[in-house]
């Protein structure tokens, strides 16, 4: 725990710490975090261990000046770097704030629910008449979590686990696809854009 805490302090001293920018009232949390965000915050001891083992370095931490989301608690900024579903964070969490999940896609698909991808049709290249498909190609569960209808229009399905790979690799700026956090279902958040498939 000491090593994790020291790593967290070192991360917080970096110059690129920034505030979460999201249309939702709650952040995307690491795999298996409670959908009730306050419950997750209560279980999380801010040890920082999840961030030290993250395969893709996608787990970030809120600063001390961000108590609304839980100072020092982990979150994912999937536009910057998405979850690869390595499940290492669930294995190392000492408090049960994250529960262990086997590193197997069949298991992950059933047990992980960080949120769901939402397509902004007014910004998506494929819905605007151009062929893209980056979101589908980046998805770790292509054809299952997201599929393409002619001409390469993305449709999100129930199997989406909210890893954010589609968001990270979307070529549009601002992104034409985002993750509606699982916790937003309890918080009453809504997305201003038009969703496609799951999350509509």
Average pLDDT over residues 33-39: 94
What average pLDDT does the structure give for the chain? 84
Percent with pLDDT over 90 in the chain: 73
Count CA within 13 A, CB hemisphere, residue 104: 6
* pLDDT (tens digit per residue) in 91-113: 999 999 999 999 899 999 999 99
Helix (H, G, I), strand (E, B) or coil at 26: coil
* pLDDT (tens digit per residue) in 163-189: 999 999 999 999 999 999 998 865 433
* pLDDT (tens digit per residue) in 114-138: 999 999 999 999 999 999 999 999 9
Task: Tell me the C-alpha distance between 178 and 119, whole Å.
Answer: 7
- Quick check: pTM over 0.85? no
Spell out the domain ranges in the chain. Answer: 2-187
Percent with pLDDT over 70 in the chain: 80
Do 145 and 160 meet the contact criterion of CB atoms below 8 Å apart?
yes
């Amino acid at each position: 725990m000491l090593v994790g805490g020291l790593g967290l302090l070192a991360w917080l001293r970096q110059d690129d710490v920034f505030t979460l920018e999201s249309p939702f009232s709650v952040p995307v949390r690491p795999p298996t975090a409670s959908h009730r965000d306050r419950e997750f915050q209560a279980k999380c001891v801010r040890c920082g261990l999840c961030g030290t083992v993250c395969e893709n370095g996608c787990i970030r931490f809120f600063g001390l000046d961000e108590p609304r989301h839980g100072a020092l608690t982990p979150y994912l900024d999937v536009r910057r770097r998405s979850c690869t579903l390595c499940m290492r964070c669930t294995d190392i969490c000492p408090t049960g704030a994250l529960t262990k999940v086997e590193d197997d896609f069949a298991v992950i698909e059933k047990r992980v629910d960080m949120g769901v991808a939402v397509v902004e049709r007014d910004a998506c290249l494929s819905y605007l008449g151009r062929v893209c498909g980056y979101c589908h190609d980046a998805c770790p569960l292509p054809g299952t979590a997201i599929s393409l209808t002619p001409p390469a229009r993305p449709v999100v399905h129930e199997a989406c686990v909210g890893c954010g790979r589609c968001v990270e690799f979307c070529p549009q700026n601002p992104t034409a696809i985002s993750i509606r956090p699982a916790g937003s279902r309890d918080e009453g958040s809504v997305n201003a854009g038009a969703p496609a498939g799951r999350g509509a």
